[in-house]
Structure 1
């Protein structure tokens, strides 16, 4: 076939520049001209079917809801194996979005027919729709079945087009799956028709660990060698390309690539790697790889190849930055990405560089392709530089580039039909990328040279040419724990502290020093600290290292009753000093404390690793949380004290009694909130957490907190801790620990003002409509993070029947858990750390025994050398009401139950006595809505893990047996109310209805993170009793009744005496207590001083006594009728934000 005039002119243009060295400006001008020729040719040769498809895509781009329909249809509808469920979801989607206008008449007619048939025709229609969808995507994701793949390769071979095969499949969550995927790559390499494969490191290893790059590379290297050997063994060596996806993979992948190819065995083997131009430092890595390759070639080695792309994971990288508080890794502006792409092109097309590093140009932007064609021709690099495009994308443009370049490689994703749903992520990312307003393909359908839209694209291209040599190549993520300096943040809104970015090599190096073997004298004996005086007691307790329990780190002094009395005396005196300090002054001091914690991050992490068995990654997050608590509470105190008409005063000496599982964050929360409210503190850390607690206390003193306002007293539970609680000088107790201990505290002292966060048997429900790979990932992290020793851990998994009987799902779950490395916390490659104690009681039973009918999916095993180390366990067939269903084990054991449907699952989750955290995995928003309405827990998580609450984003706390006291969440706007007395200075004229409408009826999302809703809302308490004892004012009673009525919260009036004209329950105190036992919540509101007997009886059943004064301020009074619920919802899909959610952050 004769060339068109457009192709002739293009070839002439390339021939004319051959051997020349154009200026950037001259090349830019010619590129615009050449791009116009290519665009005209592509439009001229477009087939009818291509034009129909292009017109349809163009219509979709003009209809943002149409794009959402396409994404939702592809991503959500076919999750279930049940035709009825699929039909129901499809019907819902069609009615939600309407039948998209961008579809052809024929397809709109088909969808209309389906809506008429509905569920009745599910068995007929659903397979047809599935086949239609698969057929529609076959040009983009090629079927991996042998016959179909062979046909496609044969067709492309006839076109003289090579293929780069990329196997798409399920997420690799376990090592068994990694081995299977490795085998599939080997099968591809054994296929005589396949010459080129792309491999992501995450597809051949499930345990990539940024904290342990050396160990990770060692594992990956062995697997890459297998692939390289198979490729090299072919008669004509095949090509293996290391793909790049996430920013975190960059340094690791480059190191792996060089490490293996440096081995003598692979000196003469040529392989490739991808670099993404949207990452500034990719240019530095290109230079590094080029210098390395030049030496390799000079030593007789084979050249390598760099596949240069712009990057296709932008949405996810942006989301990650928003969630973590890091700058996004890619450039912030598209023109900078394009400029870096051209700079890397120019560097790669230098003749001496290209001899050692061949280039694959991965772009559909015809301006950039023209630029690269000219560069290649100038330098005579036709053999070293080739063009690579995406299979099924902009085919007319691909043909033109092929005709001009004479060499075309298509990036060809493949997936077997049975794993097609797992390939959806690729489709969603491509759809999101190609419909971005700044993406060339977004405009290609209507792009005609000479039009205004063409000129806009040409101008953007020209701008990137002009800035290609000046654009920065400095990384955007620059956090460096080795060198960072801090100054206290005193003003401005609250911003969460950023965790450590482990993808940065210097931070991983910093971490390695934190896990070194402790020196003999590193940890001196830990004293009591009373009024600033270190006191070394005779009675001591060893501080153990769970990773090496036979070798104590140091010993801790234990307070005597005399020590306690002395500390309480000083603390009581401080009520008139620290308590009288202006709230602004307290805030300034706490700002310095927060700064001190920042500086002590490494020291605190090390203390947690060694004495608490925490992994470095978990300990790091805990330090961030501690800093957040201080910064948040000091601002909260200022905010409350600025309220008009209300006076706040400290409650007095506060005992902060904290657990071992969060030895840094929870003590800091208790201490900082108490101090912010003006209360002096007696700090009693758990015995296992004294080393960390001591460092925490020192941070407060070093930050400027007076010594009389904070006393550090490790002590035994009895008699000292009991005496602390019983002492009347203690006005308030903040406790975190077991439900059993909280009840004991109330019995020890019935009038104790207690705020207690206690246990949880937390359920994660997974329905048939879930993203199953994502669900398994979140189950594993939620169940086995910190070896399950979190009150928020997922210890109960409830699977809808379809999933429970899905052998593949269960096998993947087992594989993911079994693949987690169990080891000491001092080894950075460890994923399952040691338990704080060898298992006892319920946990010992759970790790070793099965209840009636239960079977092990994964049986836990104890390490032979360390009784603290246990591998994860997963129990199947857990029965309703059984010990495994209802008991909190606090360890690495997951109980799995089967539910008939979502309503059944919710019922099983609500049967537990706790109400702390709960989660659901489902892509059906109707299921999510039903779950949110009916689940009973304080923190709700949707399509994400159920642990890791972050201050302000997800204020933390539950109800039922997970909470005692007022019930205000930790790290939320009302935390400090439980630590202060308040009184009205003057009655408020604002009606309670205003407080409801302007605050409590709303869903609050102060962080506004695009892609993740974090909502604080208020729901009516399930049961509250107003106990009238006589003498209450009618105005106060009326206010309480009004508050509960506005909140639609049930309220029972109780009295021992007759009350005229009021519905009430006449009952004695004993009868009241008996009735409370039958209620879903045991809460009693009083408006006058309760009797000692009533306090005692309520304490015996763990009831909450609400004795705050009744006020006319709705913002305070309505709180007694309401419960805070924090909901965190990952509503993005692979970073993609639905159009309908892009401008709002509520649901």
Structure 2
């Protein structure tokens, strides 16, 4: 049988689309299968290593990440478009994630339980799953892989990781750093290629025991359909259509500034980005003026980077055109940046006169576009905020503590923010959504062990000493 030839892919800078920043060799199906098998063989020795020792490797990796912060941030910025300061923040966040999970190696891996028999000892013990497939997106090329890989490793699993092809160079840099940190060979294997080709290999391999994926709902559903019948453990983090509510008693300056930050940071390419804002009628005009004021302060090309690819650029522009065609009114932005035509730059964009029947109110744009709605009161705001197939994050700006607590209870999302923007996550806190935003287990924090381990219950009989 003929051996499949490796494809070589060139990576281009979305801020300057004529600049090739490097090349990456894509793996074949046979190479991917071999890497899965190698990770399977590495599992035995890795899983028997002390969890404290595994944690020490993560500590070393965190130190290396900070040591390589500037070149890694510059590479990732050129590969997917975030500004270098945004990428430096992501590298620091990655180091925090590694340090948090490094400490997991020193925490309890089970508990002792009382038995009805004085002759027995009863306890639980968490054990790793085996080989875990991790499939990550392009929008957070450092943080998202690390918040999956770090817990997988510290709990004793081996990993086959497929980063998005759009950030293949960044993925390889991270994988190389893990080896420098002392991670044994094949404990983490990286495979480079298109998800449509290699994803199926990962999903269907009998060696792979679990799949953790972050990406689109369409691909997530495909994974669920293919891996579910195979009885694999599945963790899916998918889309969002996140809403903010600004009530009349809110600090409007704070609310407007954070709403724009939530919508436009990372050029809106976050699953937690603020996509909709509902403003109480009595302060609507004033709040909209402030939203425009803060949108004007964004310097495209300096404080806001380009969209990550031509495909993403065309998708966002198509969403903007459709919103206009359906009757929404663009009050700011809405166009490519003419003087930055060498890159995939789009203006921060604000729409009013949006109805809930329009696509802009329902579909994830994944770009710097905010839909603004006028509502009569809090009750209408929360009803419309919940009127979505997604349920990842939501925020409310108010000085009313009763409404804030009511919002916590009634908001149909996994992440609730009070007087803060919809984005943001800390490594010690569980991350995930409701409805079509997530399937399966939460990520990060103590919740991570629920996905990356399984509990054994152990009974030892005859423990009581008896005098002869």
Q: TM-score, normalised by structure 2?
A: 0.90
Match in the other structure for 1:558: 26
| 2:336 equivalent to 1:862 | yes
| 2:306 equivalent to 1:834 | yes
Q: Secondary structure at the match of 1:661?
A: coil
Q: Secondary structure at the match of 1:544?
A: strand
- Deviation of the 1:985 alpha carbon: 1.6
Per-residue deviation, residues 391-444 of structure 1 (Å, max 9, x unmatched):
xxxxxxxxxxxxxxxxxxxxxxxxxxxxxxxxxxxxxxxxxxxxxxxxxxxxxx
| 2:77 equivalent to 1:597 | no
- Deviation of the 1:752 alpha carbon: 3.0
Root-mean-square deviation over aligned CA pairs: 1.8
* Structure 1 residues 59-208: aligned runs within 5 Å: none
Match in the other structure for 1:761: 241
Residues 921, 943 of structure 1: 8 Å contact kept = yes
| 2:373 equivalent to 1:894 | no
Residues 544, 688 of structure 1: 8 Å contact kept = no
Q: Secondary structure at the match of 2:276?
A: strand
Per-residue deviation, residues 195-252 of structure 1 (Å, max 9, x unmatched):
xxxxxxxxxxxxxxxxxxxxxxxxxxxxxxxxxxxxxxxxxxxxxxxxxxxxxxxxxx
Distance 2:431 2:85 in 1: 21
**Structure 2 CA distance for partners of 1:556 and 1:745, relative to 1, 3 Å:** same
* Structure 1 residues 967-986: aligned runs within 5 Å: 967-968=441-442, 970-986=443-459
Per-residue deviation, residues 679-698 of structure 1 (Å, max 9, x unmatched):
11111110111111111111
Q: Secondary structure at the match of 2:354?
A: coil
Match in the other structure for 1:332: none
Which of 907, 911, 925 is equivalent to 2:387? 911
Per-residue deviation, residues 9-52 of structure 1 (Å, max 9, x unmatched):
xxxxxxxxxxxxxxxxxxxxxxxxxxxxxxxxxxxxxxxxxxxx
- Deviation of the 1:820 alpha carbon: 1.1
| 2:269 equivalent to 1:771 | no
- Deviation of the 1:866 alpha carbon: 3.0
Residues 215, 237 of structure 2: 8 Å contact kept = yes
- Deviation of the 1:867 alpha carbon: 5.1
Residues 682, 710 of structure 1: 8 Å contact kept = yes
Residues 537, 557 of structure 1: 8 Å contact kept = no
Which of 125, 147, 158 is equivalent to 1:680? 158
Distance 1:716 1:739 in 2: 17
Q: Secondary structure at the match of 1:765?
A: strand
Per-residue deviation, residues 995-1037 of structure 1 (Å, max 9, x unmatched):
xxxxxxxxxxxxxxxxxxxxxxxxxxxxxxxxxxxxxxxxxxx
Distance 2:87 2:47 in 1: 32
Q: Which has the larger radius of gyration?
A: 1
Match in the other structure for 1:800: 280
* Structure 1 residues 422-571: aligned runs within 5 Å: 538-571=6-39
* Structure 1 residues 993-1032: aligned runs within 5 Å: none
Residues 15, 343 of structure 2: 8 Å contact kept = no
Distance 1:870 1:796 in 2: 18
Which of 867, 884, 888 is equivalent to 2:360? 884
Distance 2:377 2:433 in 1: 25
Residues 80, 309 of structure 2: 8 Å contact kept = no
Per-residue deviation, residues 569-617 of structure 1 (Å, max 9, x unmatched):
1111112111221212211222211221121111221112211211122
Per-residue deviation, residues 444-495 of structure 1 (Å, max 9, x unmatched):
xxxxxxxxxxxxxxxxxxxxxxxxxxxxxxxxxxxxxxxxxxxxxxxxxxxx
Residues 332, 348 of structure 2: 8 Å contact kept = yes
Match in the other structure for 2:116: none
Q: Secondary structure at the match of 1:956?
A: coil
Distance 1:710 1:695 in 2: 13
| 2:133 equivalent to 1:655 | yes
* Structure 1 residues 1124-1143: aligned runs within 5 Å: none
Q: TM-score, normalised by structure 1?
A: 0.38
Unaligned runs of 5+ in 1: 1-535, 824-829, 988-1147
Q: Secondary structure at the match of 2:278?
A: strand
Residues 795, 893 of structure 1: 8 Å contact kept = yes
- Deviation of the 1:846 alpha carbon: 2.0
Runs of 4+ deviating beyond 6 Å: none
* Structure 1 residues 211-610: aligned runs within 5 Å: 538-610=6-78
Name the structure where strand makes up a greater proportion of residues. 2
- Deviation of the 1:986 alpha carbon: 4.0
- Deviation of the 1:859 alpha carbon: 3.3
Q: Secondary structure at the match of 1:641?
A: coil
Distance 2:291 2:197 in 1: 46
Distance 2:72 2:246 in 1: 37
Which of 300, 317, 328 is equivalent to 1:844? 317
Distance 1:697 1:921 in 2: 41
Distance 2:89 2:202 in 1: 31
Per-residue deviation, residues 763-815 of structure 1 (Å, max 9, x unmatched):
010011111111111011100001100000001111112222x2x33222113
- Deviation of the 1:851 alpha carbon: 5.2
- Deviation of the 1:840 alpha carbon: 5.7
User: Higher relative contact order at CA 8 Å, sep ≥6: structure 1 or structure 2?
Assistant: 2
Match in the other structure for 1:701: 179
- Deviation of the 1:818 alpha carbon: 2.5
Distance 1:582 1:767 in 2: 52
Kindly tell me the number of residue pairs found equivalent between the two proteins: 441
Match in the other structure for 1:786: 266
Distance 2:381 2:84 in 1: 35
Match in the other structure for 1:822: 300
Q: Secondary structure at the match of 1:579?
A: helix
Residues 668, 696 of structure 1: 8 Å contact kept = no
Which of 618, 632, 635 is equivalent to 2:100? 632
Match in the other structure for 2:407: 931
Distance 1:622 1:716 in 2: 24
Match in the other structure for 1:141: none
- Deviation of the 1:713 alpha carbon: 0.8
Distance 1:676 1:876 in 2: 48
Distance 1:842 1:795 in 2: 15
| 2:205 equivalent to 1:727 | yes
Per-residue deviation, residues 622-665 of structure 1 (Å, max 9, x unmatched):
11221122111232243241533111111011111100000001
Distance 1:640 1:884 in 2: 47
Unaligned runs of 5+ in 2: 113-122, 461-468
Match in the other structure for 2:115: none
Match in the other structure for 2:464: none
